[in-house]
Amino acid sequence: MLAKIVASVFLFVITFLPRLSLADWAVNMTEGVTDVSRSVYSLHMQIFWICVAIAVVVFSVMLWSIIHHRKSAGAKAAQFHENTTIELLWTIIPIFILIAMAVPATATLIDMYDTKESDIDIQVTGYQWKWQYQYLSEDLAFFSNLATPKEQISNLAVKNANYLLEVDEPLVIPIGKKVRFLLTSNDVIHSWWVPAFAVKKDAIPGFINEAWTQVEEVGIYRGQCAELCGKDHGFMPIVVKAVPYEDYLVWVSDKKTIIAEQEAAAARVWTMAELMEQGEKVYQTNCAACHQPNGEGISPAFPALKGSVIATQDQQAHIDIVLNGKAGTAMQAYAAQLNAVDLAAVITYERNAWGNNTGDLIAPQYIQSLLKDK
Amino acid sequence: MTSISATEHHGPEKGLMRWILTTNHKDIGSMYLIFSLLMFFIGGSMALIIRMELVEPGLQVVQPEFFNQMTTMHGLIMVFGAVMPAFVGLANWMVPMMIGAPDMALPRLNNFSFWILPFAFTMMLSSLFMDGGAPNFGWTFYAPLSTTYAPPSVTFFIFAMHMAGVSSILGAINIIVTVMNMRAPAMTYMKMPLFVWTWLITAFLLIAVMPVLAGTVTMMLTDIHFGTSFFDAGGGGDPVLFQHLFWFFGHPEVYIMILPAFGIISQIVPTFSRKPLFGYPSMVYATSSIALLSFTVWAHHMFTVGLPLVGELFFMYATMLISVPTGVKVFNWVATMFRGSLTFETPMLFAIAFIVLFTIGGFSGLMLAISPADFQYHDTYFVVAHFHYVLVPGAVFSIMAATYYWLPKWTGYMYDEFLGKCHFWCSFIGLNLTFFPMHFVGLAGMPRRIPDYSLQFADFNMISSMGGFLFGFAQILFVIVIVKCVQGGKKAKAVCWEGAKGLEWSVPSPAPYHTFETPPNLPDEKYP
């Protein structure tokens, strides 16, 4: 009867197996693409095999006892209950195994902590729920948002190969250079993790942590936030593009040009339709996670914008909260995150979408002048 | 649950008031156990909601904000509502009977410490229905997610934690006073059963760290409502301070959940091996050193917060050191089985599964102690696999083993052995299906506490979910076995297991409402 139950459970499992795509059964840690990540991997495998060896010895003795010393096989119980020699042995031998393990682990750790003499410094700031990258010697900064469409998350569209591991603007770093990361946060604690580099460091509001990497192979490396940071913790991936140094220099100058052009666009006159179109894009990327795509929010932490006092009445109050945030809440200060066009567009959008038909048009020039005053 | 004999001249009261006013250690023990079983099912249902959402990539069943409430409440309910009260219930039932005492030393306090719990957890669970939902910041409630960014219900959570903490401290005081003062005269400390020893050490741990938890949640309370900045860098505080405080409580707390389990296994393995426990004194010393070391390892939960190198090394070495006394315990259990005369009734099956699977959890713990490797393991499903391996086949299996082992003593009837074995095998297969694949997805890079995951983790997650449902529904068998055993069945003898030794077996089954009105002699010269 018991055997029957066990058998039927296994049958149940086996019938489900064909449903599973057998394509990807990754069962182990990645070796990664840096010296550090390879040392970490080898530490991991060493300790794993030590554990396996101990397990084989302990479980064999146990299995031997279960098979040969069962009462039904006529075993008579011995009455011994101590043996000083063996007790000393199984206390001392593990200590030596541990020392043998601690030596390489210490060496790797010292290496990981050596953040001196970096070639490039990048400040990584965690936000609910996106990352900001600032290249400290380049006067270059941008945000990196999840790029997976909402329809895929809610199962209305087929999922991409890199579902939840894709961003709009990846971090770009050169290969063969020592890159130092300075990690901090704007709100709660996040943790920046790229498995291929064996870099995981908490981003803590008010403090700066350090980590470093030197990537050897060109490629795209993906990771995720590792510390629970609220509602969309599962939706703030990290994508790092490692490119040759020359390509990196070209990318930096191109990126600067694009950002300059976007900022210059604040000087021209924007029509209502243009602002609404741009505003919707900005809203979906930056605001919809909390205030929801339909503007209805999630009470009480994330208030509704649809029909709200702020979004339908006092224009100045609306501009103020978007630019400067609201202390003690999840509402961030977007003056530091978006350019004048995007700010003007998103405020215009919020004042006119979902039946908030105020007809107000916020001019990018006006926002630009506010930003300059700060 | 308890025996009610008409011949006793002052038996229990009748009706509901018996349970509300009782000062009897057996009644209170039963209430603790029933309460924890209820919480086990509530926390378990939340786990099944989590596993339901994680069957496939994409959001199907719940939204992220509710998912976070489920992971948080599942952890809190299981730790503070299921495992801890179950051990206190077992201590209430068994400690007086094992040391030859008539009752706990402080019976009214005992009643009070139990009756705090239903109120604490009603308050905690009621937050699910509040505006903004239940706590959603993980059972570790790291600031500032649990302070500045918390839902309004966090205040209720703080008070519930205070109440649960008061209950634990009172329970711990009671056990210490009982063990120190009420042992039978012949029972010296080094003759106490190991369950009593491990509980005595656990009680000291509780008294040491529950006040730290109370202080920490009070600091959260003042940060939220009274404008202090303990955990806010903007006002001169430090979010990492919260983690140091929490884990100074939290690491001893995980030993609070496993030391009594060590005691239970050390009772059961000798009984069904028909052989004395191997290395009794080394078991006592190992347990004490684990308890002492538990105060020096807390920051191994924080290897990625940016500790200085020296701190990182200290906590790595200290943590690795814990595997030595833990290894001693496992070796002792195996040596007890070696050359015994083994039988495999349900308590022994659970105990053997405990030794094997807890050891696997211990191995992954040793791996996690290696700080550079922990940079890859930290906050992934590898950690989830690790702590479920030490808590489910560890703490939970030991509680089940204890229930099957002593149920005949409590009810006077033998439980249904066949159903008990079915319960064991379904649980054993279910939990391995659930938690073993989590090692793989964790190593492959899946962070914990996410409601949705990328495609390469899909296969193992589906297996985990199927295992989770098997494990969950298997627990209904547990309830059936207990209910059947309370109602009747084959009469249990006083010594219902052939190899059982100890004072609890010297009284009839079911144990009379009042045991040991005069101090007993120890049954066996060589005892323990």
Are A229 and A301 contained in the same domain? no
Query: A335 and A324 in contact (C-beta within 8 Å)?
Result: yes
What ipTM did this prediction achieve? 0.92
Q: Which candidate, B397, B421, B407, places its Cα nearest to that of B484?
A: B407
Given its phi and psi angles, is residue A277 left (phi above 0), alpha (psi -120 to 50 degrees) or beta?
A: alpha
Are A210 and A228 contained in the same domain? yes
> Residue with structure tokens 């924007």?
A270
Are A223 and A280 contained in the same domain? no
> Residue with structure tokens 């190992």?
B286
Query: Would A143 be classed as within a structural domain?
Result: yes
Query: Would A17 be classed as within a structural domain?
Result: no
Residue A10 has which token pair? 């296994």
Q: Catalytic residue, from B25, B300, B378, B386: name it.
A: B300
Query: Would B330 be classed as within a structural domain?
Result: yes
Confidence grade of residue A307 (pLDDT, cut at 50, 70, 90): confident
- Asked if the model's pLDDT at residue A351 lies above 80, the reply is yes
> pLDDT tens digit string along A40-58?
999 999 999 999 999 999 9
3-state secondary structure of A117: coil
Instruction: Measure B384 CA to nearest chain A CA, in Å.
Output: 13
Residue to substitute from B224, B375, B433, interface A, most A β-carbons within 10 A = B375
- Asked if the model's pLDDT at residue B2 lies above 80, the reply is no
- Asked if the model's pLDDT at residue B300 lies above 90, the reply is yes
Q: Domain boundary residue among A198, A232, A255? A: A255
Query: B50 and B67 in contact (C-beta within 8 Å)?
Result: yes
Backbone angles phi, psi at B269, to 5 degrees: -60, -45
Q: Is A272 on the interface with B (CB under 8 A)?
A: no
Confidence grade of residue B7 (pLDDT, cut at 50, 70, 90): very low
Residues in chain B: 528
Distance, in Å, from the CA atom of B105 to the CA atom of B179, rounded to the nearest integer, reads 9
% of chain B exceeding 90 in pLDDT: 93
Asked whether the CA dihedral B5, B503, B85, B167 is positive or negative, the reply is: positive
Distance, in Å, from the CA atom of A36 to the CA atom of A111, rounded to the nearest integer, reads 8
Confidence grade of residue A18 (pLDDT, cut at 50, 70, 90): very low
Give the structural domain span for A331.
Answer: 268-373
- For chain A, the first-to-last Cα distance in angstroms comes to 78
Q: A258-272, B112-126, B487-501: lowest mean pLDDT where?
A: A258-272
Residue B154 has which token pair? 């966090």
Residue A38 has which token pair? 């390879």
Residue to substitute from B370, B425, B498, interface A, most A β-carbons within 10 A = B370
Distance, in Å, from the CA atom of B115 to the CA atom of B167, rounded to the nearest integer, reads 8
Query: A313 and A353 in contact (C-beta within 8 Å)?
Result: no
pTM (global) more than 0.90: yes
Query: Would A338 be classed as within a structural domain?
Result: yes
Query: B283 and B277 in contact (C-beta within 8 Å)?
Result: yes
Are A245 and A198 contained in the same domain? yes
Identify the residue with better confidence: A263 or B333.
B333
Are A229 and A318 contained in the same domain? no
Query: Would B522 be classed as within a structural domain?
Result: no
Query: Would B518 be classed as within a structural domain?
Result: no
Query: Would A20 be classed as within a structural domain?
Result: no
Are A183 and A158 contained in the same domain? yes
Query: A62 and B355 in contact (C-beta within 8 Å)?
Result: yes
Distance, in Å, from the CA atom of B279 to the CA atom of B271, rounded to the nearest integer, reads 15
Q: Catalytic residue, from B199, B255, B404, B410: name it.
A: B255
Residue B243 has which token pair? 């983690």
- Asked if the model's pLDDT at residue A109 lies above 90, the reply is yes
- Asked if the model's pLDDT at residue B525 lies above 80, the reply is no
* Whole-number average pLDDT of chain B: 94
Residue B332 has which token pair? 């002792």
> pLDDT tens digit string along A197-210?
999 999 999 999 99
Backbone angles phi, psi at A333, to 5 degrees: -90, 110
Instruction: Measure A256 CA to nearest chain B CA, in Å.
Output: 32
- Asked if the model's pLDDT at residue A373 lies above 80, the reply is no
User: What per-residue confidence (pLDDT) applies to A326?
Assistant: 86
Q: What is the mean pLDDT of residues A274-292?
A: 90
3-state secondary structure B52-63: HHCCCCCCCCCC
Q: Which candidate, B328, B224, B145, B130, places its Cα nearest to that of A227?
A: B145
Question: Would you call B127 exposed, middle or buried from its count of C-beta atoms within 10 A (0-12, 13-18, 19+)?
Answer: buried
Q: Do B132 and A300 touch (CB under 8 A)?
A: yes
Q: Which candidate, A156, A151, A87, A257, places its Cα nearest to that of B331?
A: A87
Q: Do B282 and A227 touch (CB under 8 A)?
A: no
Q: Is A163 on the interface with B (CB under 8 A)?
A: yes
Distances (CA, A) of A15 to A7, A18, B429, B466: 12, 7, 16, 12
Query: B498 and B270 in contact (C-beta within 8 Å)?
Result: no
- Asked if the model's pLDDT at residue B526 lies above 60, the reply is no
Query: A105 and B313 in contact (C-beta within 8 Å)?
Result: no
Query: A347 and A322 in contact (C-beta within 8 Å)?
Result: yes
* Whole-number average pLDDT of chain A: 90
Are A60 and A146 contained in the same domain? no
**What CATH number is attached to the domain comprising B483?**
1.20.210.10
Are A149 and A239 contained in the same domain? yes
Total number of domains constituting chain A: 3
Q: How many CB atoms lie within 10 A of CB A53?
A: 11
Residue of A nearest to B58 (CA): A153
Q: A258-272, B63-77, B408-422: lowest mean pLDDT where?
A: A258-272
Are A135 and A233 contained in the same domain? yes
Give the structural domain span for B485.
Answer: 27-506
Are A63 and A157 contained in the same domain? no
Q: Show residues of chain A in contact with B338, CB under 8 Å.
A: 61, 64-65, 69
| Residues contacting residue B478 through CB under 8 Å, at least 6 positions apart | B400, B403, B423
3-state secondary structure A148-207: CCHHHHCCCCCCCCCCCCCECCCEEEECCCCEEEEEEECCCCEEEEEHHHCEEEEECECC
Query: B110 and B176 in contact (C-beta within 8 Å)?
Result: no
- Asked if the model's pLDDT at residue B1 lies above 80, the reply is no
Distance, in Å, from the CA atom of B25 to the CA atom of B174, rounded to the nearest integer, reads 11
**What CATH number is attached to the domain comprising A362?**
1.10.760.10
Q: What is the mean pLDDT of residues B43-50?
A: 97
Cα atoms in the Cβ-side hemisphere of radius 13 Å centred on A20: 21
User: What per-residue confidence (pLDDT) applies to A290?
Assistant: 87
Distance of CA A80 to the CA centre of its chain: 56
User: What per-residue confidence (pLDDT) applies to A4?
Assistant: 60
Active site residue B333: no
User: What per-residue confidence (pLDDT) applies to A7?
Assistant: 61
Query: Would B462 be classed as within a structural domain?
Result: yes
Distance, in Å, from the CA atom of B210 to the CA atom of B173, rounded to the nearest integer, reads 12
Helices A84-112 and B309-337 cross at an angle (nearest 10°) of 150
Considering only the beta carbons, identify the residue of A29, A163, A231 that sits closest to B57.
A163
User: What per-residue confidence (pLDDT) applies to B9?
Assistant: 53
Q: What is the mean pLDDT of residues B461-473?
A: 97
Query: Would B11 be classed as within a structural domain?
Result: no
Are A243 and A272 contained in the same domain? no
Distance, in Å, from the CA atom of B395 to the CA atom of B332, rounded to the nearest integer, reads 19
User: What per-residue confidence (pLDDT) applies to A23?
Assistant: 43
- For chain B, the first-to-last Cα distance in angstroms comes to 29
User: What per-residue confidence (pLDDT) applies to A19?
Assistant: 46
User: What per-residue confidence (pLDDT) applies to A2?
Assistant: 55
Are A179 and A232 contained in the same domain? yes
Kindly state the helix (H) or strand (E) to which residue B514 belongs, with its residue range: none
